[in-house]
Structure 1
Amino acid sequence: MKKYHMDLSQALEHVRSKRPQAAPNPGFMLQLQNFEKTLKAMDNIDEAYKDKILALTRALYATRSVKDDNIPCKIEEGLFLGSLGAASNRNALKSLNVTHILTVGNLLGLGYLSHANEFIYKVIEVSDTEETDIAQHFDACFKFIDEAKRMGGGVLVHCFMGKSRR
């Protein structure tokens, strides 16, 4: 938005033209609603088990993401958008000259960091909710992206599923 002087709707349309899955679609909203029900049911569960259940739930989504949604989508030269699956796809990242990975989210199960010596990472720890103000992190993200491009590489920007960032 900042680079091309686009408003939100124009930027979202541009991203959607490159990655049609971007934005909370009805299926994703249903997943979120089901997850919310799970969280409410967990109010009656011992704290020690809550963390384990949440970790297992996220691991299931991560496994699906790595398997079914693992291709980075090109937004512009040197800039790609994707999910945790795309961030885990070393071969695709290398073939696209991605040298930097910008992770936006929390509790992502950062197992893909096993390639830590092959990519430069920046992790922005934020909750994946509508109320979260991610704008405060934009300048740091822009700097990271610009640095990757200055070095002749590309950057993958991703959150957990590559869909719900607005």
Structure 2
Amino acid sequence: MLQNVNSQEQLQGMYRPIKLVYHHREPFFVIRQPQKITAVFPMRFKEDPDVIIATAFFQELMDVGSSEAWAKAPPCTWSPIPPAELRGEPLEDLSTNCGFVSFDITSHHVKGKRLDKTVWSLLNFHAFVKYHVKCTRGFIQRRMRKRLDSLVKILHSEGLEEEREHEEEPKGCGA
């Protein structure tokens, strides 16, 4: 399908999405359209902090993808609601807590050796995102712990100074 992105077949109406299950519980959809193929990934995460990090990641991915430096990369869109192409698909496939990420693949993205790289990237997109979300979460937690440790040290040193001041004061009714 990817090799024949720009084939001259007559497309009548909209093609039905093809559901691909490469990872258990993480299907994605491929939709053939005139001059392109769209890959749509429903994104699900088990934990709320991962949803927040992933949402920020997808919004940043869209912003970076629209820059001139990444003009040759497949356009990426993120939406909290399913794209129109998935209308009519089973509800369990469309229930997400982190929206939908779509990539438009054109003939430019599958020429020659790019086909293998494009297929590999699409098949491993879920793993790529989850890896980076977990790494980001770990980084944030490490920074928070380090910051907390430095604040505790400051408070502890303040407490020691107050104790020294109290020790220097005379105690009792001295002579």
- Greater CA radius of gyration, 1 or 2? 2
- TM-score scaled to structure 2, two decimals? 0.24
Larger RCO (alpha carbons 8 Å, 6+ apart):
1
